[in-house]
Structure 1
Amino acid sequence: MESDYKIVRELGKGAFGTVYLIKHKREAEWFALKTVDLSRADAKERASAEREANLMRELNHDHVVRYVASTFNGSTLFIFTEYCEGGDLSHFLEDTSGKLPEDLIVCWVYQTAEALKYLHHRKILHRDLKPQNIYLSGEGDIKLGDLGIARILDKGADMASTMAGTPCYMSPEIFQMKGYNHKTDIWSFGCVVYEMAAGERAFDAPIFQFLMFKVVAGVVPPIHSDYSDALRRLVKSMMAKDPDQRPSAADLLERSPVKEFGQSPQRPKEIMKTRGFRTKWGTSESTVDTVKLFKEMVLNPAPPFKDGDIRIPVDSLQVHRERLGLKGAASAVPTSGSGGAGIYGSIMAPKQKAKEKVADKKIEVTLKPERSRTEMSEGRAAIMEAVMRGLMGKMVETQDRTLRESYSSTSSSSDSDFDSTLGASHGTTTKKAIEAQFLMRQIQVLQKHCAEGLGTDTLQDAYSILESVTDAGQLKARLVTLIGEDMFRQYGEKIMYLRLFQVGLDKVRSQME
């Protein structure tokens, strides 16, 4: 039986696989197709991938990406979702210069808070909120997407303990390896709102240790005084160091200025028009060129499947269309610029390559299936690769440079931020001592935890493996041989972070001599 859909173009690649834009051959219906190669996955990892798809299937909210269906094509899992032609928030910010209208920021806070309230009520943490994962419909409405590392908290438990997310948006409790709950999403979202208002990240640094130091020991920067006191207080509360002091998503909706906006909401494009706000977003000058985007292109390399393999179950399509308030054929599906119930958009907009900074790299130190380049099982080998190459690898590459030299490679404003974080009265030696003290605290916590669980002799053997093995797949295999699969799930990533912190501490101490 011939498929009704064809591949238009590749949208991007990620840890799980490749994402394509597909179109109905006769009607104006577009979807994003996320492919997950499970050929190297064991039964447990395959089940985990299916759970991700099933998690998305249950979600039905105007500001959360709508799942359409999932099918298997051999060993490849196909996940079909809505498509959003507005790109993501990072595209919008890149297309925009100057100050964003406060009404627009508050509108997006309102829409995102509604989405988080919906997710958190279902015990789902997003855990990777950042501009690249906040998508926009053609009308500029928010769609939370990329729930690949979201999880449903176990029944009876309200705290997670794995380290996951993108470093510059991670909460202090994650860096401190404490338990965390839905309030970590509020911190990350606070960082995003700050970025909307300030035009720069709240926390950034060229190397990982400095980033951790700024988040855990630093002062949260205020947004510009041009914005209202109410919005400034709201952002500050979202980024409170103590999670208990942060508002919940439901609280955000009841606080000024979000509460007032909710009483008479407007659409983002309406706000831009009313305020006379100018942006390249939505024009031919945008980083998201809609005209070119929907034109078919020759895929090189060609995908490992054909158009005929793309089959969306009829019943799933029917449910999807009913959720959008539609009936019948695909031709009835409105674009995001049309009226109708629901917002027709999707999660997988094309992404530009991120700048090569350690803080840009997404890390997930929780054992979930990701694509591996090694002979090891797909999920956990990829985790080891992310940690070793993404974090420790950067540390090793920069051992011939001092931390200060590395930090000086950033802008003067960032350097000033760092100085103010430590306090202007501190000299260079004092700063190094503070850095060393911070790293030592992290090491002590991890050492105690790992030694209690594994024993000091086994932990020392693990150190030897870390020093002698650089290949991610071999590293995982050696550690599993040493401590076993079950203990690796509990302590594997912690051992690696312990080693990372010790490398950093050695560097700081050498500069103090």
Structure 2
Amino acid sequence: MDNWKKGPIIGRGSSATVSLATTVKGDRFAVKSTELSSSTFLQKEQQFLSKLSSRYIIEYIGFDVDYVDHVPMYNLFMEYATGGTITDVIQRHGGFVDECLIRSYTHQILLGLDYLHSNNLVHCDIKCSNILVCEDGVKIGDLGCAKLVENCGDTSSEFSGTPVFMAPEVARGEKQGFAADVWALGCTVIEMATGCNPWPEMKNPVSALYRIGYSGDVPLFPMWLSDEGKDFLKKCLQRKEEERWTVKELLQHPFVNINSSSKRFEDLPKSSPSSILDQGFWDSFEVTDSPVLTQLVSFSGESPVNRIKQLVEATPVNSYLPKWVDEEDWITVRCDHVEENSNVTYENSYTDSGMEDDNSESTRTDSELYVEAEFSDSVRIIVESIVIETSGANVVNSKFLDFKNINNDSCLLVDSNLNLAMCSLSGPTGFS
């Protein structure tokens, strides 16, 4: 493309920098740039995008090579996504996305995957930061990790993507086919609903990848999702790839089936700037600065432990781990009125000897609400504390929910019956 001008940086990925650019006529587009010597992924993406045409895949415009301070740069020109990525949408919505919007986004991602799979392409790196929000909907981007599926249904021996979004068979170094994209889609739905990666509790890279590959675990489902949403996740996150639904089957699932939705997806609000000079829009979010999460690793057939070690060594330490604050800075709140079947984590069960002694057994739920610390950026809420009185001892079983990103002086607690309690963090530490 001749006579174009590079503007401000609007994103940074693992292998390139994305900038806003304009033509001499004032038309805007996005340019993804990296040094020519390290442009393998970008050239691979160009080869794929130049052969694709779908409203659910980011549009290819062209490419060129220019020089910056005598250094050759490879530039890939693409459609400009006015709304950034779904990761940006999550940030603008306060840390998670409304389920109605999740249904819409997931439906469109599935249509994009259906198009890719029909062209024998596996994306290999589906996640929120690779889904672009355009004026006419969301579109799949970043095909640098994509690969062709051979006639026998297998891909190459190279395995790429973001570790915490990898399917079990990928973490084991066995196969990365269409089913791996379905697993990653389920993880992406969880990311939209929670603002976190699907394995936020994993802190050790080796044990994390080993758990994904060899345990019987799947990511926890957000408990506030509808039954349809949880069933959709169940169909995506089957550990055995042959038991996962295909993209075409998922398109008929009531969670995303447009004919079963009570609200048309096209009626959902969109956010985009009115012009390139709409400074208020650009001030609403910062430049996305993604860590080096996407990896390309070639396995040479060693044992599973060695293959996982290769993945770990290729991944920067803590690049995909949650950024928790120190434990002593948490705020603990206790309340009642939470349903017995709530999907919460059990912690801190203990026995308190020396209490009243009788031969009967009874259960008591505490009804007080209190705050044990004055301020923190994170909140741990005890949603239920049950005391089982037995002969000679009282056994206390507490259930916790963890929350982050609260305001400086208050947090809002919503129990399963939708009763609201406002806890002032600057006031007294006890409430009745």
**Range of TM-score over shorter length:** 0.5 to 0.7
2:55 partner letter: D
TM-score by length of 2: 0.62
Q: Tell me which residue corresponds to 1:291.
A: 279
Q: Tell me which residue corresponds to 1:363.
A: 295
Q: Aligned-residue CA RMSD in angstroms? A: 4.2
Q: Tell me which residue corresponds to 2:120.
A: 123
Deviation track 1:156-213 (CA, whole Å, cap 9, x = no partner) reads 4434432211111111111111123111011011001122223433213233123224
Deviation track 1:86-108 (CA, whole Å, cap 9, x = no partner) reads 01011111121377443322111
Residue 242 (structure 1) aligned to one of 228, 240, 243: 240
Q: What SS does the aligned partner of 2:198 have?
A: coil
Deviation track 1:268-293 (CA, whole Å, cap 9, x = no partner) reads 6x2359xxxxxxx6599xxx995267
Q: Tell me which residue corresponds to 1:52.
A: 45
Q: Tell me which residue corresponds to 1:23.
A: 22
Deviation of residue 122 (structure 1)? 0.7
Q: Tell me which residue corresponds to 2:315.
A: 390
Say whether 1:65 aligns with 2:58.
Answer: yes
Preserved CA contact (<8 Å) 2:22 2:29: yes
Say if 1:189 and 1:119 are closer, same or farther in 2 by CA, change over 3 A.
Answer: same
Residue 161 (structure 1) aligned to one of 157, 162, 178: 157
Deviation track 1:58-78 (CA, whole Å, cap 9, x = no partner) reads 111111101111233375332
Rounded to whole Å, the distance in 2 between the matches of 1:406 and 1:294 is 29
Listed as ranges, the matches of 1:338-353 within 5 Å are 351-353=287-289
Q: Tell me which residue corresponds to 1:176.
A: 172
2:190 partner letter: Y
Q: What SS does the aligned partner of 1:7 have?
A: strand
Rounded to whole Å, the distance in 1 between the matches of 2:38 and 2:166 is 30
Rounded to whole Å, the distance in 2 between the matches of 1:409 and 1:113 is 43
Rounded to whole Å, the distance in 1 between the matches of 2:282 and 2:130 is 21
Larger Rg: 2
Preserved CA contact (<8 Å) 2:10 2:288: no
Preserved CA contact (<8 Å) 1:198 1:223: no
Rounded to whole Å, the distance in 1 between the matches of 2:146 and 2:234 is 25
Residue 144 (structure 1) aligned to one of 140, 158, 164: 140
Preserved CA contact (<8 Å) 1:220 1:236: no
Gaps of 5+ in 1: 274-280, 296-348, 368-383, 396-404, 425-513
Deviation of residue 407 (structure 1)? 11
Q: What SS does the aligned partner of 2:234 have?
A: helix
More strand by share: 2
Say if 1:350 and 1:84 are closer, same or farther in 2 by CA, change over 3 A.
Answer: farther
Q: What SS does the aligned partner of 2:288 have?
A: coil
Preserved CA contact (<8 Å) 2:148 2:155: no
Rounded to whole Å, the distance in 1 between the matches of 2:244 and 2:38 is 42
Say whether 1:196 aligns with 2:121.
Answer: no
Rounded to whole Å, the distance in 2 between the matches of 1:409 and 1:175 is 34
Rounded to whole Å, the distance in 2 between the matches of 1:160 and 1:67 is 25
Q: Tell me which residue corresponds to 1:8.
A: 7
Listed as ranges, the matches of 1:412-431 within 5 Å are none
Rounded to whole Å, the distance in 1 between the matches of 2:207 and 2:311 is 19
Say if 1:363 and 1:291 are closer, same or farther in 2 by CA, change over 3 A.
Answer: same
Rounded to whole Å, the distance in 1 between the matches of 2:163 and 2:330 is 19
Listed as ranges, the matches of 1:94-133 within 5 Å are 94-97=91-94, 100-133=97-130
Say if 1:3 and 1:119 are closer, same or farther in 2 by CA, change over 3 A.
Answer: closer
Say if 1:148 and 1:91 are closer, same or farther in 2 by CA, change over 3 A.
Answer: same
Rounded to whole Å, the distance in 2 between the matches of 1:247 and 1:353 is 33
Q: What SS does the aligned partner of 2:257 have?
A: helix
More helix by share: 1
Preserved CA contact (<8 Å) 1:104 1:272: no
Preserved CA contact (<8 Å) 1:107 1:261: no
Say if 1:131 and 1:411 are closer, same or farther in 2 by CA, change over 3 A.
Answer: farther
1:56 partner letter: L
Preserved CA contact (<8 Å) 1:89 1:131: yes
1:70 partner letter: F
Deviation of residue 244 (structure 1)? 0.8
Rounded to whole Å, the distance in 2 between the matches of 1:40 and 1:107 is 36
1:198 partner letter: T
Q: What SS does the aligned partner of 1:72 have?
A: strand
Q: Tell me which residue corresponds to 1:76.
A: 73
Say if 1:198 and 1:108 are closer, same or farther in 2 by CA, change over 3 A.
Answer: same
Preserved CA contact (<8 Å) 2:159 2:296: yes
Say if 1:242 and 1:406 are closer, same or farther in 2 by CA, change over 3 A.
Answer: farther
1:21 partner letter: L
1:230 partner letter: E
1:291 partner letter: Q
TM-score by length of 1: 0.53
Rounded to whole Å, the distance in 2 between the matches of 1:134 and 1:54 is 19
2:53 partner letter: N
Rounded to whole Å, the distance in 2 between the matches of 1:407 and 1:164 is 33
Rounded to whole Å, the distance in 2 between the matches of 1:410 and 1:215 is 30
Rounded to whole Å, the distance in 1 between the matches of 2:310 and 2:242 is 34
Say if 1:51 and 1:88 are closer, same or farther in 2 by CA, change over 3 A.
Answer: closer
The one of the two structures with greater contact order (alpha-carbon pairs below 8 A, sep at least 6) is 1
Say if 1:54 and 1:218 are closer, same or farther in 2 by CA, change over 3 A.
Answer: same
Rounded to whole Å, the distance in 2 between the matches of 1:406 and 1:85 is 34
Say if 1:175 and 1:407 are closer, same or farther in 2 by CA, change over 3 A.
Answer: farther
